[in-house]
Each structure stands twice: as structure tokens, then as C-alpha cells.
């Protein structure tokens, strides 16, 4: 990036180099897609592109906070499945809808609290706890519906997931943007957000400075549970049917989106802005590849490659940068001697 | 009893506890399921555990160096497909060559992971999350969405999972089980007795200290990934022999099972601690519970996954609590001993004077 340009310099100091890089990729993707297909830039396609992965990107928002906090939650996709299945089960039992929906959120909260208990009270790494619950929540979902599928939800419920409610936007997209704004305020402009970063940078220092580390982590994991439950509900509404394998394997896509957004897997750095850009890149890339008839597995492969390159390229650049700086220093020293 | 526990090495204690749990689980299912203790149980569990134990041992090598390999499931699928494809087209290929190809293909994929993690300095979870998808998509491209079917494979391969090395009455020791046991024992000796093996632990328990001590930690991490990949390739070969039908989703989800077995087997997920023998017991425990729950009438088989998740949590949670407790007791003891020594120095025993 040319540091000579004043505008670029200002942008860079505001967003950091990584976000600018993502922005460039995004623009290239959009231009390429628009060139490939005349339908790409239509509003219908743009909304469709969001809606196809809306559950994943909603969960990716809270996952950003968790990874910045230095933890990880692998159980989100299983929680989405469990929530969707709980909804289907409650509906089948004939409970009134408001109670069923409240039950779903309660399940999400309880699941998040369960994760939080093992992580903060017992002191097991979140990678292990949520790996266990990835299996566990999915198991509970299968217990609830076994191998049946549940469908024929009330029409208004399906409509919530499928029909636009405000202008051309369906409910799920509105929820996504509302959550995005709320979380940006919480993470970037509130005391709680600063605590999230500080803990991610150094848990021990944070604890010694009087931050209740366990409480912050517990809040984040419970929020992840509730938001995953919400995403599961939206999935049920969009597809209009639930089965035990709803959202199977989504956790990898979600984590990929967050990490591609420049959030460090070791915690302490990254931003929701970066995560948003990477979400847009992934959505546009997948949509463009789908328009160009590339299969789903290969799309995932391309995203995987992008994920590795996103960390590898800066490393390579730093390596050669150091090499160059070292040579320059040597030359200067030799020059002085001569 | 208390003093025995305190005097035992934590690793020995962990291993003993794991064996005790395994024993209790077998006893428990014995009371619940009619005719549980028979040769078929042994045969079934031992053959199904052979693949997952091999993968878990491979995973343990990487976890010991404070890394993780999420791509093992995709490596299993890719090598199973590759070897199956080659065997279907060249039925005359020798078994040894087929195994070598599986090892080499797996090792190559592992080497890609290793280069990126060790020399590219990209965190292992990112690299292997990426290659999990990339290897799978390579498999889809290469196969053209076709699958390998049993009838195209040579007979010796399909016979292999049923071949016995030893038989005691109805108890059969299958060839695949012997291979896995051999690999685990060899790995155990390698990790415990060889200089290079000890370096795996050194790098995992403190990477900076390992570098300061003159260990080429990049080489060690690279090697761990290559070995993990090669063993996953071997597991892919066994997968091919066991199932015969290989589709593009072969081996999907095995990465999480292998990590689960490693963790239940008492290996620290942050590296530096654990044994492959423990991992073998962990894999047996996970698979035993998985297989036995299917036959338990009291609860539906759909509880399997739920129970497995809870088991992992309980195993790791008990371990964490026990170790914290033990550490505290040991520190107190050491302080007491120190205090007693200091006293003895100041006031020598009267009898001696």
C-alpha cells in the first residue's frame, strides 16, 4: 500500500492495514462478480446472498467477541441445531407458540451457562469444553427428534423467515444489522468492550487490575448461546422444517469468517468492522462462484485457501521486509566503513 | 491410600484413573446388557477402535507440540479415495506398495500443514481449518463426485479386516488391530526413549525454552505434522479396507473424534503432557461407550452423542480438579518438609549431641 498517499495513510491509521486489504479484496470480488453476471448487482440477488447464510453471519458477530476475548466456541452450530429442534418439538407437543419460543431462548441461555460453568469455574480450556458440547448439544437434538423431520409450522412463522417485512428486507437481515450495531457499540464504545480486549490480551493482567474475568467470559458465552438459539429459530423459519442435523458443520464456516476478518486467534486484537468486511467477502465470493457454477465443496476449499493466505501473506511480507531492512543496515554499515 | 496417590507421578495417576474408569464402564454395561461379555464384543470393539486409535495417536503427536490438526478426517478421506482409485485401476498392485502410497500421500498432505505452521508461522488451528476444506475439495474435484465401490477392489484388501493374526477360542486378534497396537507401542517408545521424541514434549511444554535450549522447534513441529499426516494416510488405507465403499464424505468428522480421544486419554490440549498409551485407552473408552450405548435397552441410541460429550467434559473436569488439588497438597508438603529441615539445622537432635 502506498504510504505516500495522504488519504490512504489516514484511512490506514483509522482502520489498520488489514481492513484496507480486505476492502480491496471485497471491491475486486464485487467488480469481478458484476462482470461475470448481469444479475449480481440486482437487489434481489444481493438480499438472496445475505439470506442464504444469514444464520451463520449472525453467529459470526458474537463469535468475533469471543475470539477477541481469547476463547473459542465450537458448540454454536450444535446449539443452533438444538434450538431449531426444540422449537419443532415444542410445536409438535402443541404448546402455545410464545411459550415454545421462550423455551428455545431458555435452552440457548442454559447451554451457554453450562459452557461458561466449565470454562470459568472448573477451568477447562474453552476449546475442549465446546468441543465436548459440539457433540453433546447435537446429541440432545437427536434425542429430541430422533431421525424424524418436523414441518408444517404456522404460516406466520414461515413467513417471518421467508417474506420481506420492511421494504425488501426480511426479518433476519434486519436482526443481523441491529445486532451488528449493538455489538459495535458494546465492543468498540463501552467499558465492557474494553474489558473484552484487555482479557483477550492478557487474562492475568486483567484479573490483577480488578476485572472480573469470569463474569465477562460467562456473559459472552451465555450471549453466544442465546444468539445461536435465535439463529436456529431463524433457520427453522427460513427452511420451514427442522431435522436433527440442522446447521451441521456450520462452526467451521463461522470461525473462518471471523479469522479472515483479521481477528487474532490468540485474542486481544481484531474488530467487528474487519469481521463485517470478511463476511461480505465470503458471501460475495460464494455467490459469485455459485453464479459461475462452482460446486459447494470447491467453494469451501477456496474460502479455506483464502483463510490460510490471509495470515500467511502478512507473515511472508514481514519476513522479506526484515530481510530487506537487514541488508540495508549491512550496506549502511559497510558504507560507513568504506 | 492418600499417600500412594500423592507419591504417584501425575501421569501414572492419570493413566491408572483412566484404566479404572474403563474397567467401571465395562462392569456397568455388563450389569445392564445381557450376554455382554462375549468374544463378539471384543472383536467388534477392537476392530472399530483400530482406525480411531490410530488417528488419535497421530493427533496426539501434533497436540503434544502445542498444535492441533483438524484436517485428519479429510486426509483419511483423500488417501482412502486415492488408494482405492489406484487399486481399482491396477488390481495387480502389491499390498506393500499400496500401504506405502497411503503413507506417502498422507505424509505429503501433512507436510503441507507442517510447512505452513512451522515455517509460515500461521497458527495450526487456522492452517488445518483451511486444509480441512481444501483437501476435501481436492477429493471432490479429483473424484468427479464418483465413488469407489467394493466390487472394484482386489480381494486381498477386502479380506484384510477379517484376517486374524491370533485366535484364542472365539477371541480374534485382527490384523488391523495388531498394526494399530504396533504403531502405538512404537510411538510410545519413540516419545519416551528417543532424543527426538523428548523434543516433542520440550517444544510443547515451553516453546521459548525449547528454542533457548537449542532445539530446532520448527523442524520438530514440521515433523509432527508429517508423522500425523502419514499415520492418517495409514488410517485412510484401513478405512478403505474396512468399508470398501468410499464416497466424497469419507472420514468426515473424524477430526473431532480424534481430538476427543486425545483429550479423554489425558493429553493436555496445550501441549507438553500426555502419552500415546493413554490416548489408546481414551480411544477405547470413547468407542466402547459409543458401541455399548447402542445395545443398552434402557435409553434410546440417540443418547450416544449426548453421553459422549458429557463424558469428555467429566473426564477432563475430573482431571483438572484432581490435578489442582494434588498440586496444592504437594506444595503444602514441600513447605512442611522445608520448615522441618530448617528446624533440624538450627536445633540438632539431642541424641546425636
DSSP letters, A91-157, are: HHHT--HHHHHHHHHHHHHHHHHHHHIIIIII---HHHHHHHHHHHHHHHHHHHHTT--EE---HHH
> Cell for B200?
516433542
Domain boundaries, position A263: 18-324
Contact B320 A140 (CB under 8 A): no
Q: Which A residues in the span 297-326 are in contact with B, Cβ-Cβ below 8 Å?
A: 297-305, 307-308, 311-312, 315-316
CA B45/CA B26 separation, integer angstroms: 12
CA B308/CA A139 separation, integer angstroms: 8
- Position with higher pLDDT, A84 vs A317: A84
Contact A131 B130 (CB under 8 A): no
Q: Give the SS3 label for residue B352.
A: coil
* Residue A261, domain CATH: 1.10.3470
Contact A124 B316 (CB under 8 A): yes
Confidence category of residue A335, pLDDT binned at 50, 70, 90 = confident
CA A312 vs CA A47, A68, A100, A276, A332: distances in Å: 32, 20, 46, 21, 30
Provide CB contacts within 8 A for B305, sequence distance 6+.
A135, A136, A138, A139, A142
With 70 as the cut, is the pLDDT of residue B2 above it? no
Confidence category of residue B338, pLDDT binned at 50, 70, 90 = confident
CA A34/CA B243 separation, integer angstroms: 45
Contact B313 A266 (CB under 8 A): no
Q: Is A247 in contact with A233 (CB distance < 8 Å)?
A: no
Count helices and strands (H / E) in chain B. 14, 2
The pLDDT, as a whole number, for residue B120 is: 92
Q: For strand B164-168 and strand B171-174, is the pairing parallel, antiparallel, or unpaired?
A: antiparallel
Q: Which residue of B has its CA nearest to A294?
A: B141
What is the tens place of the pLDDT at every residue in B174-206?
888 999 999 999 999 999 999 999 999 999 999
Q: What is the DSSP letter of B302?
A: G
> Cell for B325?
488439588
Contact A315 B120 (CB under 8 A): yes
Phi and psi at residue A34, to the nearest 5°: -65, -35
From the list A124, A134, A143, the residue facing B317 with the nearest CB is: A124
Instruction: Tell me if chain B has a CB within 8 Å of the CB of A293.
Output: no
Spell out which residues of chain A touch residue B309, defining contact as CB-CB under 8 Å: 132-139
The pLDDT, as a whole number, for residue A247 is: 87
What is the tens place of the pLDDT at every residue in B63-93?
999 999 999 999 999 999 999 999 988 888 8
Q: Is A252 in contact with A172 (CB distance < 8 Å)?
A: no
Instruction: Tell me if chain B has a CB within 8 Å of the CB of A272.
Output: no
Q: What percent of chain B has pLDDT over 90?
A: 41
Confidence category of residue B217, pLDDT binned at 50, 70, 90 = very high
Tell me the β-bridge partners of A242. Answer: A150
The pLDDT, as a whole number, for residue A3 is: 44
- Position with higher pLDDT, B166 vs B226: B226
What is the tens place of the pLDDT at every residue in A142-171?
888 887 888 888 888 888 888 888 888 889
What is the tens place of the pLDDT at every residue in A48-66?
888 888 999 999 999 999 9
Confidence category of residue A338, pLDDT binned at 50, 70, 90 = low
Contact B305 A142 (CB under 8 A): yes
With 60 as the cut, is the pLDDT of residue A11 above it? no
Q: Which residue of A has its CA nearest to B301?
A: A143
What is the tens place of the pLDDT at every residue in A96-112?
999 999 999 999 999 99
Q: What is the DSSP letter of A267?
A: S
Contact B321 A122 (CB under 8 A): yes
A5 is a domain residue: no
Confidence category of residue A1, pLDDT binned at 50, 70, 90 = very low
Contact A312 B138 (CB under 8 A): no
Spell out which residues of chain A touch residue B123, defining contact as CB-CB under 8 Å: 265-266, 311
Query: Crossing angle of helices A250-260/A296-337, nearest 10°?
Result: 30
The pLDDT, as a whole number, for residue B347 is: 61
The pLDDT, as a whole number, for residue A317 is: 77
Number of domains in chain A: 1
From the list A143, A256, A298, the residue facing B141 with the nearest CB is: A298
Q: Give the SS3 label for residue A166.
A: strand
From the list A128, A252, A315, the residue facing B263 with the nearest CB is: A128
CA distance A124 to chain B (A): 7
Residues of B with CB under 8 A from a CB of A: 116, 120-123, 125-127, 129-134, 136-138, 140-141, 248, 256, 259-260, 263, 269-270, 300, 302-310, 312-313, 316-317, 320-321, 324
From the list A124, A138, A307, the residue facing B320 with the nearest CB is: A124
What is the tens place of the pLDDT at every residue in A208-261?
999 999 999 999 999 999 999 999 999 999 998 898 888 887 887 898 899 888
Contact B307 A139 (CB under 8 A): yes
Contact B248 A118 (CB under 8 A): no
H helix intervals, A240-295: 250-260, 272-291
Within a 10 A sphere around the Cβ of A306, how many other Cβ atoms?
Answer: 17
> In the predicted model, what is the mean pLDDT of chain A?
88
Contact B260 A135 (CB under 8 A): yes
A51 is a domain residue: yes
Contact B130 A304 (CB under 8 A): yes
With 80 as the cut, is the pLDDT of residue A280 above it? yes
What is the tens place of the pLDDT at every residue in A169-210?
889 999 999 999 999 999 999 999 999 999 999 999 999 999
CA distance B115 to chain A (A): 11
CA B94/CA B89 separation, integer angstroms: 13
Domain B38-306 has CATH 1.20.1690: no
Query: Where are the domains positioned within chain B?
Result: 38-306
Contact B133 A301 (CB under 8 A): yes
From the list B116, B138, B302, the residue facing A308 with the nearest CB is: B116
Which of A63, A75, A297 is the best mutation test for B, with the most CBs of B within 10 A?
A297
What is the tens place of the pLDDT at every residue in B281-319?
999 988 888 888 777 777 777 787 788 788 778 877 877
The pLDDT, as a whole number, for residue A2 is: 45
Amino acid at each position: 500500500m502506498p504510504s505516500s498517499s495522504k488519504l490512504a495513510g489516514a484511512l490506514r491509521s483509522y482502520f489498520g492495514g488489514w481492513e484496507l486489504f480486505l476492502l480491496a479484496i471485497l471491491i475486486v470480488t464485487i467488480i469481478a462478480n458484476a462482470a461475470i453476471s448481469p444479475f449480481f448487482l440486482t437487489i434481489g440477488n444481493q438480499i438472496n446472498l445475505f439470506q442464504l447464510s444469514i444464520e451463520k453471519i449472525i453467529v459470526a458477530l458474537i463469535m468475533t467477541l469471543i475470539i477477541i476475548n481469547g476463547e473459542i466456541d465450537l458448540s454454536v452450530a450444535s446449539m443452533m441445531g438444538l434450538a431449531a429442534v426444540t422449537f419443532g418439538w415444542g410445536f409438535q407437543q402443541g404448546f402455545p407458540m410464545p411459550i415454545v419460543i421462550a423455551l428455545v431462548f431458555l435452552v440457548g441461555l442454559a447451554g451457554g451457562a453450562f459452557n461458561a460453568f466449565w470454562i470459568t469455574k472448573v477451568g477447562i480450556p474453552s476449546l475442549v469444553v465446546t468441543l465436548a458440547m459440539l457433540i453433546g448439544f447435537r446429541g440432545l437434538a437427536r434425542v429430541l427428534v430422533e431421525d424424524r423431520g418436523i414441518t408444517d409450522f404456522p404460516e406466520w412463522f414461515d413467513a417471518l423467515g421467508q417474506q420481506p417485512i420492511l421494504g425488501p428486507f426480511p426479518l433476519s437481515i434486519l436482526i443481523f444489522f441491529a445486532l451488528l450495531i449493538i455489538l459495535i457499540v458494546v465492543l468498540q464504545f463501552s467499558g465492557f468492550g474494553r474489558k473484552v480486549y484487555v482479557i483477550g490480551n492478557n487474562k492475568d493482567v486483567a484479573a490483577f487490575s480488578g476485572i472480573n474475568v469470569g463474569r465477562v467470559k460467562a456473559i459472552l458465552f451465555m450471549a453466544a448461546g442465546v444468539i445461536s438459539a435465535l439463529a436456529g429459530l431463524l433457520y427453522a423459519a427460513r427452511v420451514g422444517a427442522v431435522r436433527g442435523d440442522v446447521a451441521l458443520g456450520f462452526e467451521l464456516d463461522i470461525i473462518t469468517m471471523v479469522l479472515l476478518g483479521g481477528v487474532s486467534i490468540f485474542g486481544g486484537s481484531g474488530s467487528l468492522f474487519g469481521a463485517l468486511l470478511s463476511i461480505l467477502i465470503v458471501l460475495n465470493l460464494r455467490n459469485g462462484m455459485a453464479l459461475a457454477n462452482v460446486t459447494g465443496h470447491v467453494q469451501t476449499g477456496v474460502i479455506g485457501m483464502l483463510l490460510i493466505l490471509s495470515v500467511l501473506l502478512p507473515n511472508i511480507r514481514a519476513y522479506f521486509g526484515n530481510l530487506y531492512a537487514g541488508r540495508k543496515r549491512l550496506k549502511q554499515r559497510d558504507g560507513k566503513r568504506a | 491410600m492418600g499417600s500412594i496417590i500423592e507419591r504417584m507421578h501425575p501421569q501414572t495417576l492419570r493413566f491408572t484413573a483412566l484404566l479404572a474408569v474403563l474397567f467401571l464402564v465395562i462392569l456397568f454395561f455388563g450389569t445392564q446388557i445381557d450376554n455382554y461379555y462375549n468374544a463378539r464384543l471384543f472383536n467388534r470393539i477392537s476392530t472399530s477402535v483400530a482406525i480411531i486409535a490410530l488417528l488419535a495417536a497421530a493427533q496426539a503427536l501434533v497436540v503434544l507440540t502445542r498444535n492441533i490438526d483438524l484436517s485428519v478426517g479429510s486426509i483419511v478421506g483423500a488417501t482412502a479415495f486415492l488408494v482405492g482409485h489406484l487399486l481399482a485401476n491396477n488390481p495387480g498392485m502389491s499390498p506393500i506398495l499400496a500401504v506405502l502410497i497411503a503413507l506417502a500421500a498422507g505424509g505429503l498432505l501433512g507436510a503441507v500443514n507442517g510447512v505452513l505452521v512451522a515455517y509460515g508461522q500461521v497458527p495450526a488451528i487456522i492452517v488445518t481449518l483451511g486444509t480441512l476444506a481444501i483437501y476435501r475439495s481436492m477429493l471432490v474435484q479429483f473424484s468427479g463426485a464418483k465413488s469407489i465401490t467394493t466390487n472394484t477392489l482386489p480381494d486381498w484388501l477386502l479380506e484384510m479386516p477379517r484376517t486374524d493374526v491370533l485366535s484364542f477360542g472365539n477371541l480374534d486378534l485382527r490384523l488391523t488391530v495388531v498394526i494399530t497396537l504396533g504403531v502405538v507401542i512404537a510411538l510410545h517408545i519413540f516419545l519416551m526413549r528417543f532424543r527426538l521424541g523428548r523434543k516433542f514434549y520440550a517444544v510443547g511444554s515451553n516453546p521459548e525454552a525449547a528454542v533457548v535450549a537449542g532445539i530446532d522447534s520448527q523442524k520438530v513441529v514440521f515433523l509432527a505434522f508429517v508423522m500425523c499426516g502419514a499415520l492418517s494416510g495409514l488410517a485412510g488405507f484401513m478405512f478403505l479396507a474396512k468399508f470398501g465403499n468410499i464416497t466424497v464424505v469419507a472420514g468426515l468428522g473424524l477430526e473431532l473424534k480424534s481430538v476427543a480421544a486425545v483429550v479423554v486419554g489425558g493429553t493436555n490440549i496445550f501441549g507438553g503432557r500426555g502419552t500415546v498409551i493413554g490416548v489408546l485407552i481414551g480411544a477405547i473408552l470413547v468407542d466402547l461407550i459409543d458401541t455399548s450405548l447402542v445395545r443398552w435397552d434402557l435409553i434410546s441410541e440417540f443418547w450416544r452423542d449426548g453421553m459422549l460429550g458429557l463424558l469428555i467434559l467429566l473426564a477432563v473436569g475430573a482431571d483438572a480438579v484432581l490435578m489442582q488439588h494434588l498440586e496444592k497438597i504437594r506444595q503444602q508438603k514441600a513447605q512442611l518438609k522445608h520448615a522441618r529441615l530448617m528446624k533440624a539445622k538450627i536445633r540438632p537432635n539431642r541424641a546425636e549431641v
